[in-house]
Amino acid sequence: MHHQGISLDVLLDIYTCVLRIRRFEEEVSRLFRQGQLPGFVHLYIGEEAVAAGVCATLTDEDTIISTHRGHGHVIAKGGDIKRMMAELFGKASGYNKGKGGSMHIADFDIGMLGAIGIVGGGIPIAVGAGLSAWYQDSERVSVCFFGDGAANEGSFHESLNLASALNLPVVFVCENNQYGEFTPAARAMNICDIADRAAGYGIPGLVADGADALEMYRVARTAAQRARDGDGPTLIEAKTHRRGSHAEGEEAFLAGQTYRSEEELAAAWAKDPLLLLHTYIGEQNLLPAEQLETLDADITQSVREAVDAARNSPDPKVESVFEDLWV
Amino acid sequence: MPRKTYVAAIQEALSEEMRRDPRVFLIGEDVRIGVFPSTRGLHAEFGDKRVIDTPISELAVAGAGIGAAVTGLRPVVDLMFGTFLYLAFDQIANQAGAMRYMYGGQTKVPLVFMAQNGAGSSAGHHHSQAVHQFFMNMPQIKVILPSTPGDGKGLLKSAIRDDNPVLFLHSLSLGGKRGDVPAEEYLIPIGLADVKRAGGDVTICAAGPTVYTALDAADALAAEGIEAEVIDLRSLSPWDKQAVLDSVAKTGRFVAVDESFPTCSAASEWAATVAAEAFHHLRAPVQRVTNKDVPMPFSPTLEKAVLPSAEDVIAAVRRTLA
Ligand SMILES: Cc1ncc(C[n+]2csc(CCOP(=O)(O)OP(=O)(O)O)c2C)c(N)n1
Ligand SMILES: [Mg+2]
Pairing assessment for the beta strands B111-116 and B74-81 based on DSSP bridges = parallel
Could you give the 3-state DSSP secondary structure of residue A146?
A: strand
- Residue B288 contacts residue B258 (beta carbons within 8 Å): yes
CB nearest A188 (choices: B32, B55, B299): B55
Query: Which residues, including other chains, have CB under 8 Å from residue B30's CB and lie 6 or more apart?
Result: A181, A182, A183, B53, B80
Could you give the 3-state DSSP secondary structure of residue A6?
A: coil
Q: Which residues of B244-277 are buried (b: 16+ CB within 10 A; e: fewer)?
A: bbbbbeebbbbbbbbbbbbeebbbbbbbebbeee
Under an 8 A CB cutoff, do B124 and A119 touch?
A: no
In a domain, A313, yes or no: no
- Residue B109 contacts residue B68 (beta carbons within 8 Å): no
> What value of ipTM does the predicted structure carry?
0.96
Answer left, alpha or beta for residue B101, where phi above 0 means left and psi between -120 and 50 means alpha.
alpha
> How far apart are the C-alpha atoms of A99 and B296, rounded to whole Å?
8
> How far apart are the C-alpha atoms of A310 and B149, rounded to whole Å?
39
pLDDT of A253 > 90? The answer is: no
- Residue B27 contacts residue B80 (beta carbons within 8 Å): no
pTM of the predicted model over 0.90: yes
> How far apart are the C-alpha atoms of A77 and A56, rounded to whole Å?
8
Radius of gyration in angstroms for the set of CA atoms belonging to chain A, rounded to a whole number: 19
> How far apart are the C-alpha atoms of B207 and B33, rounded to whole Å?
29
Q: Which domains does chain B have, with CATH numbers?
A: 3-180 (3.40.50.970), 194-321 (3.40.50.920)
CA of B56, closest CA in chain A: separation in Å? 6
> Which residue range forms the structural domain that includes residue A53?
8-307
Q: What is the CATH number of the domain that holds A299?
A: 3.40.50.970
In a domain, A68, yes or no: yes
Let me know if A178 is exposed, middle or buried by CB neighbors in 10 A (0-12, 13-18, 19+): middle
pLDDT of residue B172: 84
In a domain, A312, yes or no: no
> How far apart are the C-alpha atoms of A81 and A98, rounded to whole Å?
15
Q: In percent, how much of chain A has pLDDT > 90?
A: 98
> How far apart are the C-alpha atoms of A122 and B195, rounded to whole Å?
44
CB nearest B302 (choices: A99, A116, A121): A99
**Could you give the residue ranges of the DSSP H alpha helices within B42-198?**
42-50, 58-69, 89, 99-102, 132-136, 149-161
Q: Taking the alpha carbons of A90, A95, A97, A102 in that order, is the dihedral positive or negative?
A: negative
Nearest CA in chain B to A104: B124
Radius of gyration in angstroms for the set of CA atoms belonging to chain B, rounded to a whole number: 19
pLDDT tens, N- to C-terminus, chain B (322 residues): 899 999 999 999 999 999 999 999 999 999 999 988 899 999 999 999 999 999 999 999 999 999 999 999 999 999 999 999 999 999 999 999 999 999 999 999 999 999 999 998 999 999 999 999 999 999 999 999 999 999 999 999 999 999 999 999 999 889 899 999 999 999 999 999 999 999 999 999 999 999 999 999 999 999 999 999 999 999 999 999 999 999 999 999 999 999 999 999 999 999 999 999 999 999 999 999 999 999 999 999 999 999 999 999 999 999 999 9
pLDDT of residue A30: 98
Q: Residue B167's beta-bridge partner residues?
A: B113, B143
Cis, peptide link before residue B238, omega less than 30° from 0? yes
CB nearest A152 (choices: B57, B294, B302): B57
CA of A98, closest CA in chain B: separation in Å? 5
In a domain, A320, yes or no: no
CA of B37, closest CA in chain A: separation in Å? 7
Counting the structural domains of chain A, the total is 1
In a domain, A174, yes or no: yes
Nearest CA in chain A to B123: A39
Report the candidate in A39, A31, A29, A62 with the shortest Cα–Cα distance to residue A224.
A62
Question: Could you read off the pLDDT of A269-307 as tens digits, one per residue?
Answer: 899 999 999 999 999 999 999 999 999 999 999 999 999
Q: Which residues of B284-305 are buried (b: 16+ CB within 10 A; e: fewer)?
A: eebbbbbbbebbbbbbbbbbeb
In a domain, A3, yes or no: no
Q: Alpha carbon of A238 to those of A100, A109, A162, A224, B58: distances in Å?
A: 27, 27, 22, 15, 24
- Residue A213 contacts residue A273 (beta carbons within 8 Å): yes
pLDDT of residue A8: 96
B280 is catalytic: no
Pairing assessment for the beta strands B194-197 and B228-232 based on DSSP bridges = antiparallel
Q: Taking the alpha carbons of A18, A20, A22, A24 in that order, is the dihedral positive or negative?
A: negative
Q: Which of A92-101, A128-137, A227-236, B172-181 has the lowest mean pLDDT?
A: B172-181
Query: Which residues, including other chains, have CB under 8 Å from residue A266's CB and lie 6 or more apart?
Result: none
User: Under an 8 Å CB criterion, which residues of B touch A?
Assistant: 29-30, 32-35, 37, 40, 53-60, 83-84, 87, 121-127, 292, 294-295, 297-302, 305-306
Which runs of E-coded beta strand occur in A204-287? 205-209, 234-239
Assess whether the C-beta atom of A147 lies below 6 angstroms from ligand 1. yes
In a domain, A317, yes or no: no
Question: Could you read off the pLDDT of A158-192 as tens digits, one per residue?
Answer: 999 999 999 999 999 999 999 999 999 999 999 99
In a domain, A323, yes or no: no
